[in-house]
Every structure is written in structure tokens, then in C-alpha cells.
Amino acid sequence: MRRANVVGLGLIGGSIGRALRARGWRVQGSDVDGARAAEAVRLEVIDEAGLDPAAELTFVAVPALAVPDAVKHVLETTTGLVTDTAGVKASVVASTTDPRFLGGHPMAGSEQEGLEGADGELFEGAVWVLTPTAETTDEVFATVASVVSSLGAEVVAVTPERHDSLVAVVSHVPHLAAATLMTLADDRAEEHAALLRLAAGGFRDMTRIAAGHPAIWPDICEENRAAIVEGLDGLIAGLRSVRDVVDRTDRDALLALLTRARAARTNLPTRVARPADLAEVRIPIPDRPGAAAEVFTLASELGVNVADFEVYHSAEGAKGIMILLIEATASDLFRGGLIARGFRPGVRRLE
């Protein structure tokens, strides 16, 4: 029976506990609030309160600013691997050089909150970002990646700095924009009660994330300040340009903007679905550290979807092979990139 720990029993930590237990793991857990750990046992989110020193993997699911201390504590008191779930990564990853740690960020949320909202299926179909560094060994990367994949998530690997700059654009800035739109409408609703009754589906969609619990955001905004400020500056500049287009009744410019936005929205990537579209890529793992993480990071850079993967080690231990399933249409692109980085991939179309 595989064994894991979860530190921090909120929505994410609780959901990880449930998801692991549903897949046969034995899960222990802790929380700064001792009563919550007991409650988690009662709710069958974890098996037992307190950390298992021999657990294979510990998930640290505490607020971003508390992650470095919690990771340090877990590295000292357990012998297994450690990952975290914070929404910012550069500062967290920089806080430890221990190769047993690999940063992570499951991009899943819920309007539920806390342990009560814990849902073992929260990660089905979600992207789970892993942020390997040059120190990340194949074993650590492959283990964490395969465990989070087994929870139904799709692994995307990027550097910690890249993660923070990307999520500023697709998560942090949109969240702050949703909250700003909501408060603006609320201000105006004081003048006229009907305003919010006119808030139809589009407005409800746009502001839905503003209903989330605010508690995680001060840490995120502090840790990712530079990228968020840059993203907000970009949004403000974009809106100022739209404002001028509307003000001077430039119909062509408006249509061009909306047409481009529509195409981009329509083309948002979705998960690989049918096996008929898949290709199998076999990559002998070269005898150097970090190769598995590098393969995944390259896939992300190239926009190649990894639908599934496995890492096999030969009986002698040192060498091994990675097998990835990717979209068949991306196989040349991926092969080109792999060869350029010194890998020797073999690609086979699955029928």
C-alpha cells in the first residue's frame, strides 16, 4: 500500500487526501489547526492525523507564504519526496535546494471552500503544473508527475519563473479584473436597484471567480507582485486602447479586436480525447540528471499535449526509457525538439 502525507487540510489538501484514498493510498495528514486534522479523519479525508515519516510523497497544501517553513519541516521529518500546491512558485522553489522537493500547482478550484468542500474528483481534467529546476532528478519528477496524473490531472512542466509569469496572465490578473468589475457594478447598483437584475449570463460568467474565498490572494499578490503589476498594466493599456476605439467610433478597429478575441477564445486548447489521434514517443533516458523534467518542459514549450506517460527503468537501475502519448499531429514538432536537445526519440502512430 502506497503511503502519502497531506500538510494543510483545506479544499486542495482535503481533495488530494480524498483522491489518493480513492486510489488505494494510505494518507496521513496534519493542519495548524489540530481539530481540523481530527475532523479530516472523521470525514474519511485522511486515514490518520499526524505525519507518516516513511510516506513516499508529502503534499504541502498550505498558503503560499507558509510553504517554505512547512516544506523544510517535512524534509526534516520524513524520508520521502515533497511537493506543494501553492499558486506562486518562484519564491517557494527558491526556498529549498533539496532535490527531494519539486514545486507544483494544481489549477483547480471550486466555489466550495475548506475541508467540507474537499472533492476527490477535483483534479479530473485539470492542469497540474510542475516546476522542475536543474536539480530535479528523473525519479522525483517521474514519481510526482505519475501520481498527479493518476488523480486525473494533465501535467504541464515549466520553470518556476515561467509559471509565475504565465499564471499572472491567465489567473491572477483575470481574478483581480473580475473582482473590480463586480465592485464597479455594485457601486452603480446603489444608484439603481435594477442594475444587478440585468446581469445576465455573460456578466455572471465573468464575475464567477470573484465569489471565491479571498484568503489566498494577499499571499499570491505579494509573492507574484511584479508579474501581476505588469499584467495589470497590460490590461489597463489594452482597455485604454479599446476605450479610444469606442470613443472615436472606429468600427473597423473594434471589429478587428473582437474578431481576433473570438478566434483566440474558440481555439483555447482542450484535452486530447480519442486514442486514434495519439502517437507514442519512446525516449531512452540519457545518463544525465533532469532528463525527464526536461522532456516535459520541452513539451510545454512546444505546446505539445502529453496525454499519458510512463517511465521504465532497466534492471541495472541507471538507464531507463520514457514513453509518452501525445497528439499525433504534434509528433514531428516534438521529435524535432527532442533531437535538438540531444534525445533519441522513436515515434509510433497508434491506430
Residues 103-132 close enough to bind a copy of itself by CB under 8 A: 107-109, 126-127, 129
Pairing of the two strands 154-157 and 278-285: unpaired
For the bound state, the minimum distance from the C-beta of residue 123 to a copy of itself, rounded and expressed in Å, comes to 11
Buried b (16+ CB within 10 A) or exposed e, 128-142: bbbbbbebbbbbbbb
For the bound state, the minimum distance from the C-beta of residue 245 to a copy of itself, rounded and expressed in Å, comes to 8
Residues 286-345 close enough to bind a copy of itself by CB under 8 A: 300-303, 305
- Sorted by sequence, the CB contacts under 8 Å of residue 230 that are 6+ apart come out as 168
Contact by Cβ (8 Å): 292, 285: yes
What beta strand segments (E) does the chain contain?
3-7, 26-30, 48-49, 57-60, 81-84, 101-106, 127-131, 154-157, 278-285, 306-313, 320-327, 346-349
Q: Is 243 in the site for a copy of itself (CB under 8 A)?
A: yes
Of residues 94, 239, 339, 350, which one binds a copy of itself by CB under 8 A?
239
Q: Is 211 in the site for a copy of itself (CB under 8 A)?
A: yes
Q: Which is nearer to a copy of itself, 2 or 204 (CB)?
A: 204
- Sorted by sequence, the CB contacts under 8 Å of residue 197 that are 6+ apart come out as none
For the bound state, the minimum distance from the C-beta of residue 116 to a copy of itself, rounded and expressed in Å, comes to 17
Cell 533519441 locates to 344
Q: Is 202 in the site for a copy of itself (CB under 8 A)?
A: yes
Q: Is 170 in the site for a copy of itself (CB under 8 A)?
A: yes
Give the separation between CA 254 and CA 252, rounded to whole angstroms: 5
Q: Is 180 in the site for a copy of itself (CB under 8 A)?
A: yes
Of residues 76, 247, 316, 351, which one binds a copy of itself by CB under 8 A?
247
Of residues 194, 276, 315, 340, which one binds a copy of itself by CB under 8 A?
194
Q: Which is nearer to a copy of itself, 50 or 218 (CB)?
A: 218
